[in-house]
Amino acid sequence: MIEGIVATYVNVAIHEPLRGGSCRPLPKKLQNKTAIINIQNGDYQCPRWTLRVALYPAPRGNNPIRPASHSAEDGLNFAGIDLPTPVSQIDKLETQNPNLAINVFGWEKYNVIVHRISEKDGSIQRINLMITQEGFNTHYSYMKRLMTLLYDHSKNCNSKHFCERCLQRYSRIDLLERQEERKCPKREKTRCLSETSTSK
pTM: 0.74
Burial-class residue 93 by CB neighbours within 10 Å (0-12, 13-18, 19+): buried
Nearest Cα to Cα of residue 51 among 71, 25, 26: 71
The yes-or-no verdict on residue 96 having pLDDT over 80 is: yes
How far CA 163 is from CA of 30, 86, 88, in Å, comes to 22, 25, 22
Residues 102 and 191 occupy one common structural domain: no
Whole-angstrom distance, CA of residue 12 vs CA of residue 14: 7
Q: What percent of the chain has pLDDT over 70?
A: 74
In a domain, 9, yes or no: no
CA distances from 56 to 50, 52, 74, 107 (A): 10, 5, 8, 25
Which of 85-94, 98-107, 181-190 is least confident? 181-190
55 has a pLDDT exceeding 90: yes
121: containing domain: 19-150
55 and 97, same structural domain?
Answer: yes
Residues 177 and 125 grouped into a single domain: no
Q: Are residues 55 and 133 in the same domain?
A: yes
Q: Are residues 141 and 162 in the same domain?
A: no
The better pLDDT of the pair 35, 160 is held by: 35
pLDDT at 16: 45
